[in-house]
Structure 1
Amino acid sequence: MSILVAVTDRAEGAAAVTAAIAEAKLFDTDLVIVPLGIAASFDTSALDESGISYSVVARKGRGDRDPAEAVLDELEERSDVDRLVIGMRRRSRVGKMLIGSVSQRLLLDSPVPVLAVKD
């Protein structure tokens, strides 16, 4: 069993990492981190201090690849992932209706249970 966390370079990403660390400790499992932000590297200091085993996925393909597709592809490739953790931000009703979001697609299309956290 492992937990996959999709991490953006915004506050929601930090909230997702915090929740994923708590889940990993609760289930005594490891984390798989998929960075979705523009930054090429992911700061692992919070994970190093937690003592949890983790791996950071280097995203493959084009840099402008759809982040939701990248996460869904990772879930398909990794049969050991039992939970997905994502961060969400508040959007207006009109924004939800007119503009799709990565978190909404992951909630609807994920083959595993999703833990969605807000900052």
Structure 2
Amino acid sequence: MSVMVAVPDSAEGALALTSAIAEARLLGTDVLAVNLGLRPISPEHLMSGETRITILERTHHESHAEVVLHALAEHPETERLVIGVKRRSKVGKALIGSVSQTLLLEADVPILAVKLPH
């Protein structure tokens, strides 16, 4: 079993990775980090003590949601997905599609959604 985390180049991505490591420790499992950014995941975010972290680099030109859903399909041992979510206005929620929303609706595993404090 594994905890998968979607890690874009953002503060939400860093928080999601930190939260996934904590979740994996609670469950006694490893982390599969899907790198959605253009750069490698920062080494300081990978300092997790005894938790094993495997980086899954983005290899397709799909949307972020499709990349994560594809990774979930390739790793059926995943028992949880961790995502970082952004705060949006009511209008923003109504008009703009969201990677988080797509994952919440389409992923077949429980999802832990984390957001930055105000």
TM range (shorter): over 0.9
TM-score scaled by length of structure 1: 0.92
| CA positional deviation for 1:44 | 3.2
Please name the residue that 1:42 is paired with: 41
Distance across 1 between alignment mates of 2:4 and 2:48: 19
1:21/1:50 contact within 8 Å kept: no
TM superposition outliers: structure 1 runs of 4+ over 3 Å = none
1:88/1:116 contact within 8 Å kept: yes
Please name the residue that 1:94 is paired with: 91
1:16/1:86 contact within 8 Å kept: yes
List gaps (5 residues or longer) in structure 1: none
| CA positional deviation for 1:9 | 1.0
Q: 2:105 aligns with which of 108, 111, 118?
A: 108
- Percentage identity across aligned positions? 50
List gaps (5 residues or longer) in structure 2: none
Aligned-residue Cα RMSD (Å) equals: 1.1
Instruction: Please list, as runs of the form range in 1=range in 2, the aligned pairs for 1:52-67 lying within 5 A after superposition.
Output: 52-62=51-61, 65-67=62-64
CA offsets, 1:79-100, max 9 Å, x none?
Answer: 1000000000100111111110
1:34/1:58 contact within 8 Å kept: yes
2:65/2:99 contact within 8 Å kept: yes
Secondary structure of residue in 1 paired with 2:57:
coil
Q: How many residues align?
A: 116
